[in-house]
A and B are shown apart, each in its own frame.
Chain A
Amino acid sequence: KAGVTQTPRYLIKTRGQQVTLSCSPISGHRSVSWYQQTPGQGLQFLFEYFSETQRNKGNFPGRFSGRQFSNSRSEMNVSTLELGDSALYLCASRLSNTEAFFGQGTRLTVV
């Protein structure tokens, strides 16, 4: 079966702009989580959505937001981009109480 699909794979944005990233989970998976990966901080949890509701949230500023649609696809939005937002953004999906499957990520570069 198809894995977790993230689009786009690469993105270059300018400081102050906003960006939307997309994640299509594995079919049947209702939980979608987002993580930010940077060389200095490693993998950090952003938030998780389950059945269109945010179930868990990490310690990121309000500029980072997300949503989930009825088909379980999820989007993540970052407003007023800063240079420090440059990172690999990873999405993971899972069934209840099972392992998390990660997508390949979206590499965001802010210039």
Chain B
Amino acid sequence: QQQVKQSPQSLIVQKGGIPIINCAYENTAFDYFPWYQQFPGKGPALLIAIRPDVSEKKEGRFTISFNKSAKQFSLHIMDSQPGDSATYFCAASMNRDDKIIFGKGTRLHILP
């Protein structure tokens, strides 16, 4: 119930391609869905976040798509660059004050 399932575990995409990372959850009490980006040797940093009353949110080249009925959400990276190579975590919490439940992460590599 408290899990967030993330796929794929790893992803390799050519520069300019659109990597897509998918996540699913069970607990309908979750109402805040952030995505974090983590580079080696660094802590996770918030990339973009969405609430379930919105079906899509864009910030620069990053887009979250949210399907409330299916309890699924995904991250798309437009015009991906080698500098986007990192580990991406989807997450969920009951509100921004609550603990964050993370997916297992996707290691993304963008080929130059």
Contacts and interface: CB of A to CB of B under 8 A. Distances in A.
Nearest to A105: B43
Interface residues of A, number: 25
B43 A4 contact: yes
Given A42-B102, A42-B105, A43-B89, A96 B97 contact: yes
Residue of A41, A42, A44, A56 most packed against chain B (CB within 10 A):
A42
Interface residues of B, number: 21
B97 A42 contact: no
Interface string A40-81: 011111001000000010100000000000000000000000
A104 B99 contact: no
A42 B45 contact: no
Contacts, number: 52
A56 B99 CA distance: 7
A56 B46 contact: no
A22 interface: no
B103 A100 contact: no
A33 interface: yes
A100 B93 CA distance: 12
Contacts of B105: 42-43
B4 to A, nearest CB: 10
B45 A102 contact: yes
B70 to A, nearest CB: 23
